[in-house]
Amino acid sequence: MAAAAAAAREPEVIRDKAAMRAWSRRRRAEGKAVAFVPTMGFLHDGHLSLISAAVAAAAGPVAVVVSIYVNPSQFAPTEDLATYPSDFAGDLRKLAATGAVAAVFCPPDLYVRGGAGAGESGGAVSCLEDAGGHAHETWIRVEQQEKGLCGNSRPVFFRGVATVVAKLFNIVEPDIAVFGKKDYQQWRVICRMVRDLDFAIEIIGSEIVREADGLAMSSRNVHLSCEEREKALSINRSLVNARTTALNGNNHGQQIKDQIVQTLEEAGGQVDYVEVSLLESLRKLSEFMLVS
């Protein structure tokens, strides 16, 4: 009976920034660690695994907070902010079913909005900056970690991510925060920001959760047609094959990259980038040693 009651417990929904900060401080006064899982909603089992990781990371009593907020500053105007999937009621049901989430933070907006007119950012304009005027203009840049990889084609993405995560940290004041390694560069950017800016937060990286057929779980998968979803399986297949090649003794980065590109293009994919990089610094490698 107790387990059933815990599983059905509804998390407290908090929308106000000051109320969220006060909630965390009360939990800490009760002797609990505050563990934080930031999300953009439309939750799936990958997100729920982050909650499990948050509970496991705490040495003692823990209060888990999940945020649901689609951050406009990480989207360029040509990207899918307007069509990002959303199901808030469904998200709350999933979080309640875990029995592990104490609060859900879902602010209406985390930015100061200005008047009419377009802002300027050297050509790298996010959806947020369309507000212009006296709007938000303070940004966090993790200058080296955000370069290359996804940063090449999404010049405002990591600036937006680092800034909103810093804002969320200042509001939630967590002791622990969990991020998925599916967005690997993003996780490394956050780790470096926390180190450099002296946030007293332990950052946990949680492993990728995949569907039975190997596709990495993602909220955006709902937009894929059956044909597109089948083609998307080539991503994991190409990485598994590349790892096998490396374990068999081929340590030439360009050959590994060429093999991945070939697999993706044969499946009908359009390749943005393929790189072989060091795990922490993300520095490109021409040759490497793979440890099984």
d(CA 111, CA 168): 11
Half-sphere exposure of 191 (CA within 13 A, CB side): 19
Which class for 63: exposed (0-12), middle (13-18), buried (19 or more C-beta within 10 A)?
buried
d(CA 160, CA 43): 21
Catalytic residue among 44, 47, 134, 252: 47
**Does the annotation mark 47 as catalytic?**
yes
d(CA 132, CA 12): 34
68: Cβ–Cβ under 8 A, 6 or more apart, which residues? 39, 40, 41, 88, 91, 104, 105, 106
Look up tokens 């009419």; give the residue: 116
Catalytic residues: 47
